[in-house]
């Protein structure tokens, strides 16, 4: 795909998705954002929800438990404690049902990871919002 963005969805268990896409729609706290090749680099908090993945002639879905998104001009990576990727909404729902049937310890670990990601994202926002100066503070 000549005009494509590499999109990677990473979980603690490995890579759930890694492919070239024309665009993606990702849920964030301020609404869904679109990802396309050659966009300005950014970092964002991803809200739990459905990510729409559009290829040249395909459309896929990724359900995530929220996390962090790091995007640059040619690649975007979503870091999430859980992801289910499928070609149809029914397949995504089936994957979510299987995940809910997992032992409670795994789900608790995922919740702790989500809390850690939220705190990390908050800290990153604070650090980027505070201007840094070279001199001593008054």
pLDDT in tens, 79-134: 998 888 989 878 888 887 777 777 666 666 677 667 766 766 676 676 666 555 55
Taking the C-alpha atoms of residue 119 and residue 49, their distance in angstroms, rounded to an integer, is: 19
Range of the domain at 111: 5-129
The kind and range of the H/E element at 127 are helix 104-129
Residue 33 lies in a domain: yes
Q: What CATH number is associated with residue 98? A: 2.60.15.10
Distance, in Å, from the CA atom of 124 to the CA atom of 120, rounded to the nearest integer, reads 6
Provide the Cα torsion 119, 125, 126, 129; round to 10°. Answer: 180
Residue 135, domain member (yes or no)? no
Q: Is residue 34 part of a domain?
A: yes
What are 5-23's pLDDT values in tens digits? 999 999 988 999 999 999 9
DSSP per residue, 4-24: -EEEEEEETTEEEEEEEESEE
Q: Look up the pTM and report it.
A: 0.72
């Amino acid at each position: 795909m000549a005009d494509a963005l590499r999109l990677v969805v990473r979980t603690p268990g490995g890579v759930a998705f890694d492919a070239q896409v024309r665009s993606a729609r990702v849920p964030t706290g301020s609404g869904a954002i679109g990802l396309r090749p050659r966009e300005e680099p950014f970092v964002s908090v991803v809200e739990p929800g459905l990510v729409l993945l559009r290829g040249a002639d395909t459309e896929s879905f990724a359900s995530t438990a929220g996390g962090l998104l790091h995007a640059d001009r040619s690649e975007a990576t979503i870091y999430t404690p859980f992801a289910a990727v499928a070609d149809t909404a029914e397949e995504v729902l089936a994957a979510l049902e299987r995940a809910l049937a997992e032992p409670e310890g795994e789900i608790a670990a995922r919740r702790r990871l989500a809390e850690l990601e939220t705190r990390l994202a908050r800290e990153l926002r604070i650090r980027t919002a505070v201007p840094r100066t070279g001199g001593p503070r008054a």
